[in-house]
Amino acid sequence: MSNWPDWFQEALRQRFYQFELASERQASCLSEDKNLFTQMDEFKTNQNEDIQRLLSEWEEALGYQLSQDKQSIYMEGVKDGIRLILPIIQPTVTR
Residue pLDDT, tens place only, 60-94: 998 899 889 889 888 888 888 888 888 878 877 55
Give the pLDDT score at 61: 94
Sequence length of the chain is 95
Closest C-alpha to 44, from 34, 35, 54: 54
Is pTM beyond 0.85? Reply is no
- Alpha carbon distance 72, 26 (integer Å): 17
- Is residue 15 within 8 Å of residue 80, measured between CB atoms? yes
- Is residue 44 within 8 Å of residue 54, measured between CB atoms? no
